[in-house]
Amino acid sequence: MKNPDLISMRQALGDVLLKLGDEVPELVVLDSDVSSSTQTIHFGKKFPDRFFNVGVAEANMVDIAGGMATCGFRPVASAFAIFLTLKAAEQISNIICYNKLPVILLGGYAGLSDSFDGASHQSITDIAVMRAMPNLNVIDPADAIELTQAMQQMITYDGPSYIRISRNPRPLLFENDEPFKFGKIRKIQEGSDMTIAACGVTVSMAIDAASELKSKGISAEVLNISTIKPLDVDTLVRSVQKTGCILTVEEHTICGGMGSAVAEALMKNHPVKMDFIGISDTFTETGSYLELLKKYGISKESIKDKVLKLVTE
């Protein structure tokens, strides 16, 4: 039996694009021959005149989107995250970001979620590369509802955004009436002993870990950093002022990702004891999604282990 609470971000993306297509006449969608995977295909069927499948040519796609954006359109350009952010990195930088064009870049199959296709298709560097680019917002939604809300907000934003999209069905964490706020950290659970800052699919693991830690007498505050850039430094600092230590959790290499962004902010504003969960400096491999996450240390168990170490050190 299907778990009614599991829904994938890509499925939500397909739905929200259909809705936005009616509401925002300037919306155009571009894809690079992966529309049936990323689910932009539904938009393409409903709005064929505003859908452009450019074939396997991510760099070309990003620049076409840029050209359209200079003429008043609101392009959404979609590809697998690794190919979008690495093959088209120079186009994203020199055309989209340098010119501050209102384009949404959708990195599908992000993190390890393209699990069976192997390391060559998994995106573990996109946050690092995207957040290094001036003018670019970087958003890693925690569930399908946040993804939907992020799309609704960023489609009218006057500048470029990168949004990370996981492939697989994951639990819904939020209700529709708790709106995602761009640029704001969402505090999911109050706590006093330590802060767990998670993003993307790891947020649900952080929530589960925190509730299990409660039975061990540890009160963990859980933050959802869905907007990695610009980072909500105020909320972050207020949290660690109270808890005195922080663990970041992300489905990404620990080199330059969300944890690095948090470390940069805290080192400058309020240094505390800190540890990181993410992929250590290594390539990953083929396997089932949950097995992969576990093997590379991204799991409820590793969160609990690291928290225990941090608070007892």
**In terms of CB distance, is 53 or 152 closer to other proteins?**
53
d(Cα 261, Cα 256) in Å, to the nearest integer?
7
Q: Is 64 in the site for other proteins (CB under 8 A)?
A: yes
Q: Is 17 in the site for other proteins (CB under 8 A)?
A: no
- In the chain, the amino acid numbered 243 is T
**Residue among 22, 67, 264, 280 that touches other proteins (CB under 8 A):** 67
> For this structure, is 58 an active site residue?
yes
**Residue among 2, 4, 71, 158 that touches other proteins (CB under 8 A):** 71
Q: Is 66 in the site for other proteins (CB under 8 A)?
A: yes
**Residue among 11, 37, 60, 189 that touches other proteins (CB under 8 A):** 60
**In terms of CB distance, is 77 or 147 closer to other proteins?**
77
| Inter-CA distances, 245 with 196, 249, 306, 313, Å | 9, 14, 11, 11
**Residue among 12, 28, 151, 274 that touches other proteins (CB under 8 A):** 28
**In terms of CB distance, is 59 or 150 closer to other proteins?**
59
- Mind spelling out the 3-state secondary structure of the chain? CCCCCEECHHHHHHHHHHHHHHHCCCEEEEECCCHHHHCCHHHHHHCHHHEEECCCCHHHHHHHHHHHHHCCCEEEEEEEHHHHHHHCHHHHHHHHHCCCCCCEEEEECCECCCHHHCHHHCECCHHHHHHCCCCCEEECCCCHHHHHHHHHHHCCCCCCEEEECCCCCEECCCCCCCCCCCCCCEEEECCCCEEEEECCCHHHHHHHHHHHHHCCCCCEEEEECCEEECCCHHHHHHHHHHHCEEEEEEEEECCCCHHHHHHHHHHHHCCCEEEEEEECCCCCCCCCHHHHHHHCCCCHHHHHHHHHHHHHC
Q: Is 155 in the site for other proteins (CB under 8 A)?
A: no
**In terms of CB distance, is 105 or 254 closer to other proteins?**
105
Q: What's the min distance (Å) between Cβ of 13 and other proteins? A: 22
What is the chain's length? 313
| Inter-CA distances, 74 with 26, 83, 141, 310, Å | 5, 21, 20, 45
Q: Is 129 in the site for other proteins (CB under 8 A)?
A: no
Q: What's the min distance (Å) between Cβ of 119 and other proteins? A: 24
Site for other proteins in 29-48 (CB under 8 A): none
**Residue among 4, 48, 72, 134 that touches other proteins (CB under 8 A):** 72
**Residue among 43, 51, 52, 296 that touches other proteins (CB under 8 A):** 52
**Residue among 18, 33, 37, 100 that touches other proteins (CB under 8 A):** 100
User: Contact region for other proteins (CB under 8 A) — 37-45, 58-66, 111-119, 120-128?
Assistant: 58-66
User: Contact region for other proteins (CB under 8 A) — 55-63, 107-115, 150-158, 278-286?
Assistant: 55-63
User: Contact region for other proteins (CB under 8 A) — 35-43, 90-98, 155-163, 223-231?
Assistant: 90-98
User: Binding residues for other proteins, per CB under 8 A?
Assistant: 28, 49-50, 52, 54-55, 57, 59-60, 62-73, 75, 90-91, 94-95, 98-100
Return the active site residues: 58
